[in-house]
């Protein structure tokens, strides 16, 4: 269980394999921009919404970091 939770952060980003590389990088940039303090390093706080799966992605701050981690 613990190993799984640690791995979730990476999977959170790469769950979108359909995306092209530069689009993945864009998402990473957005996620990095989202974290403001050293405390909020975990990407688990950020939820990425893909509307068109290719085009526009939105970032929302999750209310609670643990809820709905792998969706």
In a domain, residue 25? The reply is yes
Q: Residue 29 is part of which domain span?
A: 2-61
In a domain, residue 7? The reply is yes
When divided into structural domains, the chain yields a total of: 1
In a domain, residue 68? The reply is no
pLDDT at 60 over 60: no
The answer to whether the pTM exceeds 0.75 is: no
In a domain, residue 51? The reply is yes
pLDDT, mean over the chain:
53
pLDDT at 30 over 60: yes
pLDDT at 22 over 50: yes
In a domain, residue 46? The reply is yes
In a domain, residue 67? The reply is no
Could you give the CA distance from residue 69 to residue 45 in angstroms, rounded to a whole number? Answer: 9
In a domain, residue 69? The reply is no
Q: Transcribe 49-62 into DSSP letters.
A: EESSSSS-EEEEE-
Beta strand extents in the chain (DSSP E only): 46-50, 57-61
Could you give the CA distance from residue 53 to residue 40 in angstroms, rounded to a whole number? Answer: 26
pLDDT at 43 over 50: no
In a domain, residue 48? The reply is yes
């Amino acid at each position: 269980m613990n190993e799984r939770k640690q791995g979730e952060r990476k999977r959170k980003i790469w769950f979108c394999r359909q995306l092209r590389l530069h689009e993945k990088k864009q998402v990473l940039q957005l996620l990095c921009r989202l974290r403001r303090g050293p405390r909020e390093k975990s990407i688990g706080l950020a939820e990425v919404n893909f509307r068109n799966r290719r085009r526009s992605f939105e970032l929302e701050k999750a209310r609670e970091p643990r809820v709905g981690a792998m969706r």
